[in-house]
Amino acid sequence: MVGVLSLKPINPSEYLIEAPCSLLTQAEMGFQGDGWGIGYYENKCLRVFKSFKPVYEEKELFSKVCGSLRINLFIAHVRKASNPRGLPREKLIGLENTQPFRHNNLLFAHNGSIKALNVVEKLGEYKQLIRGVNDSEIYFVLFLKYWNLYQPNILKIIRSIEKDLQDSVKEGEKPYSSLNAIFSDGEKLYAVNRYIEGKNLKSLCYKDSEYFRMVYRYNGSSMVIASEKLDNKCEWRSLSDGEILIAEVTKDKIEYRILRL
């Protein structure tokens, strides 16, 4: 997954198609063939384009969608379906299970598997927002619940989510592999780097970091956040497990801060 906030309108193809380790390249290398999507803000209105087909089988469509855009803020995702319920594959695939997810003006993408499926019992009235069988959507709806309760206290939001997930499994069981997420409310770009698995796995392209360790690149006029480096240049910095990055436009510059869970 990739999220970008830029002062000037940009074409996302640079990050999603053209970079040496673009999102398209990552999908091909990691066999992430269970759907793709891009969400972006145009005149402050959220728009999302998704397909449940493999992005590497729809290169022409992917290129056409990306090439048509000049935007300041977007989040893109390619999916390799997790299946903690053990469902038949055909039930896992579909637009309702494809990311990024949206609700009102909130856009959300997740990388990882949610295993504490019993957490749906803590959703209350929010349970009706679930449309598919994607465990990441459960995380998203749980996020919506706490976003509405505690926003802008992002630390309290993520801590509340993690507590609910941990409380929903037996002692000693892992409630998730990763809570890694990139999301936006149309004003700020956020990234959560939180994982308890994958420390023995390496990034797809350059094999130089843990699989779930997210990275970012910042130059004052743009912030790029990705599940791994899009090229092998030195500008990339790594987020540590338990860190949350928040970027926003302030006057004529993008500023960011990093919080610790």
Domain boundaries, the chain: 2-107+181-260
Residues 184-242: pLDDT tens digits? 999 999 999 999 999 999 999 999 999 999 999 999 999 999 999 999 999 999 999 99
Residues 116-136: pLDDT tens digits? 999 999 999 999 999 999 999
End-to-end Cα, the chain, rounded Å = 22
Question: Look-up: residue for tokens 């009706």?
Answer: 128
Whether the predicted model's global pTM rises above the 0.85 cut:
yes
Radius of gyration of the chain (CA): 17
The CATH class given to the 2-107+181-260 domain equals alpha beta
Report whether 106 contacts 184 (CB < 8 A). yes
Residue 167 has pLDDT above 90, yes or no: yes
Report whether 257 contacts 246 (CB < 8 A). yes
pLDDT band at 103; cut points 50, 70, 90: very high
Q: Which residues pair with 152 in a beta bridge?
A: none
pLDDT of residue 251: 86
- As a whole number of angstroms, the distance between CA 24 and CA 31 comes to 10
Instruction: Please tell me whether residue 237 adopts helix, strand or coil conformation.
Output: strand
The values of phi and psi at residue 217, to 5°, are -135, 125
pLDDT of residue 76: 98
